[in-house]
Structure 1
Amino acid sequence: MRRLPGWRALAGQLAVGLCAALPGLPALAAPQLDLTVRLEPAQGNLSAQALIALPAHEAIDLRIDARHRITSMQLDGGALRASTEGGLQRIRIAASSQPRRLELRWAIRADAPDAAASHRDTLTAFAPQIGEAGSFLPAGGAWYPLPFDGAGPLLHRYRLTVDLPAAQHALAPGDRLSDTVRDGRRTVRFDMTHDSEGADLMAGPWVEAERSVRSIDGRRLTLATLFHPDIADQAAGYLDVAASHLARIEQTLGAYPYSRFTIASSPTPTGFGMASLTYLGIDVLRLPFIRHTSLPHEILHNWWGNGVYLALAGGNWSEGLTTFMADYALREAKEGDDGARAMRLDWLRGLSALSPAAQGSLSSFGGRTHDASQSIGYHKAALVFVMLRDTLGATAFDSALRDFWQMHRHRRAGWQDIRAAFERASGRDLGRHFALWVDGSGLAAPVISEAVAGPGGLTVTLQQPAPPYPLEVPLHVRVAGATRVEQVALHAAQARVTLPLTADCAELALDPDFRLARRLAPGEAPPVLREATLDDALGLTVLPGDERLSAAARTLTKKWLDRAPTVIDAAQPPGRASRMVIGSFAGIDGWLARHHLPARDRDGEVVAWALRAPAGGTLALVAARDAVALEKATRALPHYGQQGWVTLTGGRAASRGQWPAATAWTTVCVR
């Protein structure tokens, strides 16, 4: 899992839309709310009270979900009414010459979380969930009165007191001041002393474990796990790894901005990061690699996204920067150049599979809602940071990030603030770079259009289509088995450079390490499943035969694909378009033979693999032993899109892998 802020971003967009249609209020200082909650998970109920002290000459505009029942609302002891607009109840109080006191009481009735929900279902789930297995009330869903001004949701501070059964624990962003049990009830108090995006409330029948560590600035920090009993034995391992990753990030960016970091388990396949905590599905936490992949990603979000907050407009930069500094940096450190190259290639495979219509800009990315948006907001953005570091150098790059953090911590910031930090650190004007890579859409497509070897050296001409991106193209030159890398500036449609040549022949390769955000050339890399599934023109062939297997195939495509594919008859040969073909072992084997394609070479209960058709289209092939095997594999299979092939047994991956990419060298000799 990765941090998935889309629920907050989408809720914010709804709110901004409402504000835009109504007269705005002047911006006010960060308000503070005093919230008191009584949670009854067994009954699916919550009752709550909010006290807000309004200073003189201060107005406030509050929004709460219209589905929640306001039981009383008083302003200085007098009754007050809310209006309903666009699914929200709106409470607008004008400024007064005297301090005022607002008291609001309300009740929430919610369903228990659906353990059968898919991960994709959780990405836009704003409605409160209350149940004994777990409760989740996201701030972005306006479960309590959120403050606004004319631009949108306001950062705010809060105190939160939660009263719930003693067998349950509660969690919210901020400092935990106390946790006491008396007469069968537990009372937990939280205090958010920084401007924040809001109080996300979680609860569950958790077992708590804690670890005390020392921050780089000398403070004592508390690391904690709140795990369901059946995974409580994993707490020590998670705390060990969390301490290591937190210390590593502090060395790069500075002191951790909160007093606690908590890892909590959810009964649904959730992957959320909030200030001072992460909320991950039970089954996700069971996976042995999560503590080394998702966990460092979530910890780093306490700097990016939950430490410096996203501007209300202009795009979500935090996912790409966190992917670069967590996922990518760890791959660099653990596996060296080869591992980092493989990750960049994987990103480019996904991006190159997107049609031009699906190539959105980074400035329009709000949060992950499907695989295509992840390719852009996470992977393309990470590549933009790779290119910035390559262009500016590591010293200026790291200095810019530390400057950005110090200047904007606990404030909102956008891509333009990032640009300003990099310009200050490097002394360079990066306006065109950010205009094309952040505000523009698509990928670069540089090529070697001509290479001539002669007595004066090796003259190479590079070209790219419009709009021309500002590129520092790594041109690899191999002479007599020795390779050197020439950085060629390609800032316009064409650039020509003459390089020294010490032999009669040289071999050339353009960016074979995949350091540029560019469209892969046809045949440049072996296919992976995601190249087909990300294609919005994907066709689908379900081979005739067992009706139950056909039904399982249709269920799989609904869970795997972002849109309904075009159905293609099995008799139609593969062409230039991407296509998914699903059937039994015998059905798939026969289909491959009829269309003169390479035979299946792996066994398992379910085998899925990618294949490049002779006409150029990418095929995603899924062969199943029977309907039962395919039904069991339906939940896991969509998670292996980055693989060239995967075999599954009992619904779990038994083996997987990618075919290696080989560099295509162009030979040039003196005539």
Structure 2
Amino acid sequence: MRVPGLWYLRAALLAAALFVPLAAWAAPAVSPPTYELKVSFDLAQAKLLGKAVIRGRRGRQLDIDLGGLTVLRLSNGGRELPIPGGQEQTVKLRAAGPVEIDYEARFADSDENLISADAVQLQGQWYPTVAGMHVYHLSATLPEGFTAVSEAEAIRRTRTPAGVRFDFDFSHPLAAADGITLAASRHFVVQRSSYDKVVITAYLSPGHAQRAGFFLEEAKRYLRRFESELGPYPFKRLAIVEAPGGGGLSMPTYVLLESADFDAERIEDTALGHEIAHQWFGNLAYIDYEHGNWGEGVTVYFADHADAAARGRAWACRKRMIEGYENSVGSDGIPLTEFSSRHNRPTRSIGYGKSAMVFHMVALQIGQKAFLRSVRDFLRTERFRVAGWDDWRLAFERNSHQDLRWLFAQWLTRTDVPELRLDGIRDEPVAAGFALSFAVHQIGEPFRLTVPILIRYDGGERRVQAQIAKREQRVRVRLPGRPREIVLDPDYDVFRRPAPAEITPTIQRLLTRPEAMVVASTAEKERYAALPDILAAADTALRLHWRQVEGPRKTGTRSSGRQGTGAGRWREVFKRGQAAGKGRHDVSLILLGRNNPVIHRLFGDLRLPARGFGITVRTDPRNPAEVVAIITADARDDLRQDAALAIEDYEESSTVLVANGKLVAKQTAQSERGIRSAVP
């Protein structure tokens, strides 16, 4: 059959177009359904009164999740419907016109929603949610003196007899999984600036108002950087809000930051860059949570990882991701296609760390130019649409002309992690130098990997790459000098298990061990009575055993026979320790007190903090897979006040000193960089 020429196809298309009715050309695109929400508050009762009106195509199936709200009235197209009662939390109906729901809710003890005399923060389910995409219009009435923020390109403020009404206009459809939020306070101090045509506003507490200028300027710097990589900022406004109820979040047009962020001296120690990057990743292109949340990984890559790269520490950032996964997840993870949100340490390592490493490995596979071109293509194509991992793969394939199905399959669906080993190292003199050969082994089912290798030799070093897709791959390299050392993956470009010598002894390493032996003298029991409860609250499954030792004491130190707070927990730990037996090397140790005799036995003269609460973590010299934590406190009150801060907020450090509720010093120990082996 003869294929028509291009001119023939053009003529045929033009002729067909001429017969299309004029009305078809002029027909507007179908408008998305709208969700109008009006709320007011009884602050003294922590109570919300709301009215939701859902408008859209008649006959549309609506699945409405009430989420524990109390429905006062329900109508469909003007017809009153029975009020759901009892355990009925979902209403299914076909729209006969506007669907109206009057409801109320109390949030006195809610973890996700806050209503108090001075502040409101609503980010959980605080209105009936409807499956699908809607354009939301929020109107919130609050007492005089409040300032409110929500997703909005424009905010209108109107005084009414009931107080002040805030109307938030946001014209883009939002997915039900994201929905809308509200943050309001009597005490916000508001400062404004601008970047190009974007209005940037800071809403901070009076105690942090002096930091507004710094954060506004840093926000401009992040916008400038992200626009150069990702394309124009997608909205007209950007608000930086100190969260009244805590928590770091990013919503279209505004970000919520913890109060602690505004105390940080360095912007890299805050979540500002991360949450602003989410304006593109999650707020411009929406996340398909059902098939895997990609938003955190790509945000870490463009924000946190890029911040580290600017300081020449990108390799260290990737090492922390790999170590965090080894510590928290090990071989018991979930595939990235099942990650939806962070709710503990393992899910954080999977959805943030491993996911960010996938984007890094894609960039190395296709090249940085094609990678950035793909990201901008993805954001244009998926603008205000729900997108998944497959959409990312297609964007990368379009712009690199590579088939990447193998890469996404192995990193998104497998739960195991590559484990690499070096052996079979041989070298021999050859003309003009030496020939070095060695084998790279994969333990377990092989991955398809590109492994960077650093070879140090007399007079210099050489970097090569090995393509590895089987259990053993031999590598041969000619060198101008005698080889001295081989280092696999020195910059952590491959998501893999670290070798034992690469693992840094940190607080995180301690908290993620299955069990630890607590070693202390009777004299220290009272001082550290609260420690088991503090550790139990630090998102850890660490099981404690107790061993009692006697050793030198400071002059005048006496053992108290009183059983203070936590004594019952210590008795439980003590019993487990007696049953566990002496001399075990397969558990980590927690040594209490500066004068604990085990410290000297293991480490000799070790310098410890002289005041405040201190925790120092070292690799156990008896077993490098375990750690030894030395905990010191001047008094029992130091432990209660400062231990939680040190353990929970600085878990990636090896030594932390806290006094009077403030960080005094922190340090991270050194560990090997890359899988290293000397050439014999």
Aligned to 1:581: 590
Aligned to 2:209: 232
CA, structure 1 residues 269+94, in 2 after alignment: closer, same or farther (shift >3 Å)? closer
Which portions of structure 1, spanning 4 or more consecutive aligned residues, are displaced by more than 6 angstroms?
A: none
3-state DSSP class of the match of 1:449? strand
1:173 shift after superposition = 1.3
Mean Cα deviation higher: 639-648 or 517-526: 517-526
1:525 shift after superposition = 4.4
CA, structure 1 residues 291+178, in 2 after alignment: closer, same or farther (shift >3 Å)? farther
Cα distance in 2 between the residues matched to 1:95 and 1:386: 46
3-state DSSP class of the match of 2:51? strand
Aligned to 1:603: 610
3-state DSSP class of the match of 2:396? helix
Mean Cα deviation higher: 464-473 or 562-571: 562-571
Does the alignment pair 1:206 with 2:213? no
Aligned to 1:650: 660
Question: Which amino acid in 1 is paired with 2:341?
Answer: G
Question: Which amino acid in 2 is paired with 1:227?
Answer: L
CA, structure 1 residues 439+603, in 2 after alignment: closer, same or farther (shift >3 Å)? farther
CA, structure 1 residues 580+414, in 2 after alignment: closer, same or farther (shift >3 Å)? farther
Kept in 1: contact 2:656–2:667 (CA 8 A): yes
1:409 shift after superposition = 1.9
Kept in 2: contact 1:549–1:583 (CA 8 A): no
Question: Which amino acid in 1 is paired with 2:668?
Answer: Q
1:212 shift after superposition = 4.4
3-state DSSP class of the match of 2:105? strand
CA, structure 1 residues 289+181, in 2 after alignment: closer, same or farther (shift >3 Å)? farther
Aligned to 2:333: 359
Aligned to 1:103: 100
1:144 shift after superposition = 1.1
- For residues 110-509 of structure 1, the aligned pairs below 5 Å read 110-111=107-108, 125-126=111-112, 128-138=113-123, 141-148=124-131, 154-182=132-160, 185-196=163-174, 197-215=178-196, 220-290=197-267, 293-333=270-310, 335-336=311-312, 339-354=313-328, 356-455=330-429, 457-509=435-487
Mean Cα deviation higher: 609-618 or 573-582: 573-582
Q: Which of 612, 630, 637 is residue 639 of structure 2 equivalent to?
A: 630
Cα distance in 2 between the residues matched to 1:176 and 1:185: 20
Q: Report the aligned-residue RMSD.
A: 2.5
Aligned to 2:8: none
Cα distance in 2 between the residues matched to 1:619 and 1:76: 68
Identity of aligned residues (%): 25
Question: Which amino acid in 1 is paired with 2:306?
Answer: A
Kept in 2: contact 1:54–1:102 (CA 8 A): no
1:570 shift after superposition = 4.7
Kept in 1: contact 2:187–2:206 (CA 8 A): yes
Kept in 1: contact 2:501–2:672 (CA 8 A): no
Q: Which has the larger radius of gyration?
A: 2
Question: Which amino acid in 1 is paired with 2:346?
Answer: A
Does the alignment pair 1:641 with 2:638? no
3-state DSSP class of the match of 1:549? coil
Question: Which amino acid in 1 is paired with 2:468?
Answer: L
Cα distance in 2 between the residues matched to 1:649 and 1:77: 64
Aligned to 2:547: 569
Kept in 1: contact 2:261–2:270 (CA 8 A): no
Aligned to 1:20: none
Residue-by-residue CA offset, 1:169-222 (whole Å, 9 max, x unaligned): 12211223312335572111012211213111221123343434345xxxx211
Cα distance in 2 between the residues matched to 1:355 and 1:60: 39
Mean Cα deviation higher: 501-510 or 128-137: 501-510
1:346 shift after superposition = 2.0
Aligned to 1:78: 79
Q: Which of 620, 629, 654 is residue 620 of structure 1 equivalent to?
A: 629
Cα distance in 2 between the residues matched to 1:345 and 1:279: 28
1:542 shift after superposition = 6.4
Aligned to 2:26: none
Cα distance in 1 between the residues matched to 2:611 and 2:343: 31
3-state DSSP class of the match of 2:495? coil
3-state DSSP class of the match of 1:313? helix
Cα distance in 2 between the residues matched to 1:288 and 1:268: 22
3-state DSSP class of the match of 1:551? coil
Kept in 1: contact 2:243–2:258 (CA 8 A): yes
1:600 shift after superposition = 4.7
Kept in 2: contact 1:69–1:108 (CA 8 A): yes
1:566 shift after superposition = 4.0
3-state DSSP class of the match of 1:642? coil
Aligned to 2:14: none
Aligned to 1:23: none
Residue-by-residue CA offset, 1:208-238 (whole Å, 9 max, x unaligned): 43434345xxxx2111111122222222221
Cα distance in 2 between the residues matched to 1:440 and 1:655: 40
3-state DSSP class of the match of 1:550? coil
1:162 shift after superposition = 0.8
Aligned to 2:94: 94
Aligned pairs, how many?
608
CA, structure 1 residues 285+436, in 2 after alignment: closer, same or farther (shift >3 Å)? same
CA, structure 1 residues 182+79, in 2 after alignment: closer, same or farther (shift >3 Å)? closer
Cα distance in 2 between the residues matched to 1:202 and 1:51: 22
3-state DSSP class of the match of 2:479? coil
Kept in 2: contact 1:530–1:642 (CA 8 A): yes
Kept in 2: contact 1:81–1:91 (CA 8 A): no
3-state DSSP class of the match of 2:500? coil
Does the alignment pair 1:56 with 2:47? no
Mean Cα deviation higher: 633-642 or 178-187: 178-187
Question: Which amino acid in 1 is paired with 2:630?
Answer: L
Cα distance in 1 between the residues matched to 2:657 and 2:88: 48
Kept in 1: contact 2:114–2:245 (CA 8 A): no
Structure 2 portions without partners, runs of 5+: 1-29, 550-580
3-state DSSP class of the match of 2:438? strand
Q: Which of 591, 596, 604 is residue 598 of structure 2 equivalent to?
A: 591
Does the alignment pair 1:37 with 2:39? yes
Question: Which amino acid in 2 is paired with 1:81?
Answer: P
Cα distance in 1 between the residues matched to 2:329 and 2:107: 40
| More RCO (CA 8 Å, sep 6+) | 1
1:575 shift after superposition = 4.8
